[in-house]
Amino acid sequence: MANLQQLKTELKKLAEKKQAEILQKFFKTGSGQYGAGDIFLGIKVPLQRKTARQYESLRLADLQTLLNNKIHEYRLTALLILLSQYKKADAEAKKKYVNFYLKNTKNINNWDLVDLSAPNILGDYLLDKSRNILYKLAKSRDLWEKRISVISTLAFIRNNEFGDTLKICEILVNDKHDLIHKAVGWMLREAGKRDRKILENFLRKYYKIMPRVMLRYAIEKLSSRKKKFYLGLSR
């Protein structure tokens, strides 16, 4: 039977001090930065995935304990396990996992945690349901809830549905945070890879006011001529 303490012990054995120092800087954990307070053991993601597979039967209570912890790898491993359990669940059980996910948005508090989980749990669940929760999250004051809202729509994009992505991008187009600029630009680019017209329609409306990083992400797959046009006339 999978045991929470055993999982923690396994993860601590995989810790690398030099890697931890690199990750602390990469994920901006300094005072006043977006990842302030996040603590890293220094474990590479493939090793976390391998470890998570060995503890897929952990209870939600154990996953909650991991998500409440300041150690980044504990939270990431918890989300990997949650995702595995979600994928194997029937429709009724999936609702339980999504509710658990939404109760923990405060603990899904770095961009890699969001990007791993939002489209594959919340976005996937909402494919055939109301997306109202995403609009609520998009209007949140919390950075990570806003990122969850737009990154979740990657599931819709993969299903060739773009309407909610574009509407949420409109809500966030004037956001001040760099991580939202990147997330919005990324989703616009992904939508544009499947339907160039919908991307260019959005750009024609907003390219003059879009933050530079958002715009650069959005136009990454366009021709050199189009890139020069949008960058040349944007602020």
Give residue for tokens 């809830």. Answer: 145
Query: Per the domain annotation, does 25 fall within a domain?
Result: no
pLDDT tens for each residue of 174-217: 999 999 999 999 999 999 999 999 999 999 999 999 999 999 99
pLDDT at res. 235: 45
The model's pTM? 0.95
Domain count, the chain: 1
Distance of alpha carbon 185 from alpha carbon 169, whole angstroms: 8
pLDDT tens for each residue of 89-126: 999 999 999 999 999 999 999 999 999 999 999 999 99
Query: Per the domain annotation, does 219 fall within a domain?
Result: yes
pLDDT tens for each residue of 20-56: 999 999 999 999 999 999 999 999 999 999 999 999 9
Query: Per the domain annotation, does 232 fall within a domain?
Result: yes
- Kindly report the CATH number assigned to the domain that includes residue 201: 1.25.10.90
Query: Per the domain annotation, does 179 fall within a domain?
Result: yes
pLDDT tens for each residue of 47-73: 999 999 999 999 999 999 999 999 999
pLDDT tens for each residue of 118-170: 999 999 999 999 999 999 999 999 999 999 999 999 999 999 999 999 999 99
Query: Per the domain annotation, does 106 fall within a domain?
Result: no
| CA 71 from centroid of its chain's CA atoms | 18
Domain of 188 in residue numbering reads as 130-235
